[in-house]
Structure 1
Amino acid sequence: MKNIILTAILLFAVSGGVHAQTVYTIDSGDKLRITVFDEESLSGDFSVGADGSVTLPLIGTVTLRDLTPQAAQQTIANVLADGYLRHPVVSIDVLHFRPVYIIGEVNEPGEYGYASGMNVLNAVALGGGYTYRADQDDIIIMRGRDDNRVEIQANEQSIVLPGDIIHITERYF
């Protein structure tokens, strides 16, 4: 059993841990619909600020950066339960994901809207397809914020997350 746990920890560390994640987490630029059931005055649409937080009625600023929507629901419910509501039930829907960016050897590099389930090939299609110089076997996804961005070797089927920067490199021959 100890060997299994040690192996799991080593795989987590080698893979880059949280940075190489393929699970959506909330960050600045996202727009959320937060619903507190039976409390219309506490519900609404909220933009996640540059610091990764939202400001909610009654409870003020709550940091949601790097949380999944499910974890954010629980975080908000916990704050509401701490002296505000007896048994709060919170729901979060993502109304607008932060964009993805595609750079390098595509016909129309730039910023594009994220769609759930997007992969690199979908993003390349949004960017007008590969240029004749594109190295389709050398694709890099830059994931994370500037303070913790990591580069991930990718292929056309690699999953893209909101905020990713996809770099299609140039072939030399």
Structure 2
Amino acid sequence: MRKVNGCVPFLAVCLLLAGLLSGCAHERVDPAYLALVEQQAELPPTGELGPGDRFLLRVYGEEALSGEFTVGADGTINYPHVGRFKAEGLTCTDVEVQLTLGLGEKFLKEPNVQCTIVEYNSKRIFIFGEVREPGTFPYKNNISIIEAFALAGGFNERASTNNTKLTRVVDGVEIQVRVPLQEIVEGRQRNLRLLPGDIIFVPESAY
């Protein structure tokens, strides 16, 4: 277990203890999963841009300034009348503000700029095990675990869905949580928002 600033963060410890307790009652929903679901509303935004990410810019009434852009390997984009600027680490909202200011200073009066993410390629999620198309997938903002399995083509017939494992780094500590996927599909448990770097593994059923 990795430590941060000499101690294991409190949140990660709570999740690890919850996971250990769940092993005593295999049929019950993992308390660590319930804790993640409860905390997801408080998670910080994950929409910062990185190299390879694609986004669409629209400037109202200016077709020549509208189009799709890709963050370069150096973390920058080159935009008409504004020039090259650092997009890495910015959100779409940050880009809107920067371009609104840039265009307003040099080219347009009161520009209306809209930014929409097309695809995150700098952030990935990983899905392995008993799914039809295992592999790595570009992260999408606010993607749920059910949406992720749709990207992977769904489950194989041998999948033990309620024993699905989610591996995530929380406060610098790697944790593993059992996800009750079948119960989520049936509407008996709440869905979970994934984060960049999440690893999901679906084991084979013993039957």
Normalized against structure 1, the TM-score is what?
0.61
Question: In 2, Cα distance between the equivalents of 1:32 and 1:132?
Answer: 35
Question: In 2, Cα distance between the equivalents of 1:52 and 1:59?
Answer: 16
CA shift digits 1:93-131 (9 cap, x unpaired): 223343743244343421335566521233235434376
Higher Cα radius of gyration: 2
The Cα RMSD (Å) is 3.9
Question: In 1, Cα distance between the equivalents of 2:176 and 2:44?
Answer: 13
Tell me if 1:123 matches 2:148. Answer: yes
Post-superposition offset of 1:85 = 3.2
- Number of matched residues? 151
1:103–1:77 Cα change, 3 Å: same
Instruction: Give the fraction of aligned pairs with identical amino acids, expressed as a percent.
Output: 25
Q: 1 or 2 for the larger relative contact order (CA 8 Å, sep ≥6)?
A: 2
The structure where helix makes up a greater share of residues is: 2
Which residue of structure 1 lines up, in the alignment, with residue 194 of structure 2?
A: 160
Question: Which ranges of structure 2 fall in alignment gaps of 5 or more residues?
Answer: 1-8, 13-42, 182-190
The residue correspondences of 1:21-170 to structure 2 (distance < 5 A) are 21-98=44-121, 100-107=124-131, 108-112=133-137, 117-127=142-152, 128-129=154-155, 136=163, 138-141=165-168, 151=174, 155=179, 157-161=191-195, 164-168=197-201
Normalized against structure 2, the TM-score is what?
0.53
SS of structure 2 residue aligned to 1:82: helix
Question: Which ranges of structure 1 fall in alignment gaps of 5 or more residues?
Answer: 1-12, 144-148
| Contact 1:34/1:45, CA 8 A, preserved across alignment | yes
Aligned AA (1:159): R
The structure where strand makes up a greater share of residues is: 1
